[in-house]
Amino acid sequence: MRRLPIYLVLDVSESMAGDPLAELGHTMESIVDSLRQDPHALESVHLSVIAFAGKAQLIVPMVELMTFYPPRLPLGGGTALGAALDELMTRIEVDVKKTTADQRGDWEPIVYLLTDGRPTDNTDHAIARWQRHFASRAHLIAVTLGPAADLALLKRLTDDVVAMESASAEALGRFAKWVTASVAAQSQAIDIAEGTSSRLSIAKAEEAGINLIKQSDVSSWAPMDERVAVFTGRCHRTSRPYLLKYASVAVPGTFSTGDWDHFYGLEGCYPLEESYFEWSSIVPLHAALSTSQIEGVPPCPHCGARTTLAKCSCGKLMCCNGPGVQQCPWCDQSVEFVAESHGAGFDMTRGLG
Ligand SMILES: [Zn+2]
Ligand SMILES: [Zn+2]
């Protein structure tokens, strides 16, 4: 039996924290559940999952559809697309059987690369390598989630770029339906025309409510400003980490300048796993944001303390329930917090998104 290998390469950077990451997990489940209803797909489809944030890693090795179990997705800081492509190329080399004189190899693998942001690592080498050695024997479809993805860069990687307006349940639901239908159709085409297979067509994407990105869209595309600001802190009682996520909101500035001011509104505060730090790149963070630019201070998701924005002299954030002395869960020194003085904002170190 010749296999039809499918790779899901998923961006799990911190801008995906909260609902988008949960929706991504549901999307994987629903694609797998629907494909299992299809006898052709059930016979040929094999799946593998690679996740990337500051680092890229294989999280599900190639398995047949029947035994695939959707993984728990990690979360990390950074968008190492170059590393993700390198990992993908390694996996294709290892997994995909080539056709030789005495064996019929696997069908051309299909790769769905989902990302919502701009890469934080160097992608030039990986894109060149992909174009030279892999573009002709694997079909890569890049899928952007929301307006911050780097269309021009993805277009350099593959002709087939499709755009979803966001990572909402509704948008990803449409995406899951489209993937299921096109993979099922592809597995059937293979079944009928044993020996010859043409590439999966993305022409029907628009009928499914998914935008096809053409080269002309890229030239008129203006990269969107940093849309999300994220910060990490630790609970001062349990030491467990959390992530604060703010989204940029543009408001009209003074009439004299006509400029727009940006502030960051609270989107949520989420408990993190320790694995977050392993999945984050360790490049120094430059971007800083002042508390005067952010709106909304959530309570600690671990202990319920009133604020998650208390800052130690080591530069890290922790939760705090009011004035008094407490120990910093990052550096262990004692810090005294006094009643907050309004107007004196402090700067926080900002994550990579
Ligand atoms: Zn706490
Ligand atoms: Zn400290």
Same domain, 161 and 308: no
Choose between 346 and 116: higher pLDDT: 116
pLDDT tens-place string over residues 258-308: 555 678 899 999 999 999 999 988 654 445 667 778 889 999 999 999 999
CA of 296 to the centre of ligand 2 (A): 23
Distances (CA, A) of 238 to 78, 193, 327: 26, 60, 11
pLDDT at 260: 59
Same domain, 255 and 236: yes
Same domain, 88 and 115: yes
Same domain, 69 and 198: yes
Mean pLDDT estimate for the chain: 87
Long-range pairs, 136-139, Cβ under 8 A, ≥24: 137/92, 137/96, 137/108, 137/109, 138/92, 138/96, 138/108, 138/109, 138/110, 138/111, 139/108, 139/109, 139/110, 139/111, 139/199, 139/200
Q: Which residues form the domain of 265?
A: 228-349
Structure letter (DSSP) for residue 33: H
154 sits in which H/E element: helix 151-157
The percentage of the chain sitting over the pLDDT mark of 90, rounded to a whole number, equals: 55
pLDDT at 223: 56
What is the pLDDT confidence band of residue 197, given thresholds at 50, 70 and 90? low
Kindly tell me if the per-residue pLDDT of 323 is higher than 70: yes
The percentage of the chain sitting over the pLDDT mark of 70, rounded to a whole number, equals: 87
Same domain, 151 and 14: yes
pLDDT at 186: 86
Same domain, 158 and 197: yes
Ligand nearest to C-alpha 334: 2
Last residue of a domain, one of 175, 198, 219: 219
CA angle in degrees (0–180, nearest 5) for 352-23-214: 70
CA of 226 to the centre of ligand 1 (A): 28
Q: Where are the alpha helices (DSSP H) in 227-347?
A: 275-278
Choose between 245 and 85: higher pLDDT: 85
The answer to whether 241 and 250 are in contact (CB under 8 A) is no
CA of 152 to the centre of ligand 1 (A): 42
CA of 303 to the centre of ligand 1 (A): 4
Last residue of a domain, one of 184, 219, 254: 219
Domain count, the chain: 2
CA of 273 to the centre of ligand 2 (A): 20
Same domain, 233 and 215: no
pLDDT at 291: 74
The answer to whether 150 and 157 are in contact (CB under 8 A) is no
Ligand nearest to C-alpha 330: 2
CA of 167 to the centre of ligand 1 (A): 29
Question: Residues, the chain, total?
Answer: 353
User: Once rounded to an integer, what is the mean pLDDT over residues 145-168?
Assistant: 90
Place of tokens 């899901």: 8
Same domain, 205 and 233: no
* Protein residues near ligand 2, an ion, with CB under 5 A: 312, 314, 328, 330-331
Same domain, 237 and 209: no
CA of 304 to the centre of ligand 1 (A): 6
pLDDT at 165: 86
Place of tokens 């996520």: 245
pLDDT at 286: 47
pTM, two decimals, is 0.87
pLDDT at 225: 53
Kindly tell me if the per-residue pLDDT of 220 is higher than 70: no
CA of 259 to the centre of ligand 1 (A): 39
pLDDT at 254: 52
Kindly tell me if the per-residue pLDDT of 79 is higher than 60: yes
Last residue of a domain, one of 219, 248, 269: 219
Structure letter (DSSP) for residue 78: S
Same domain, 41 and 123: yes
pLDDT tens-place string over residues 4-43: 999 999 999 988 999 999 999 999 999 999 999 999 999 9
pLDDT at 344: 45
Rounded CA separation 9/11 (Å): 7
CA of 326 to the centre of ligand 2 (A): 10
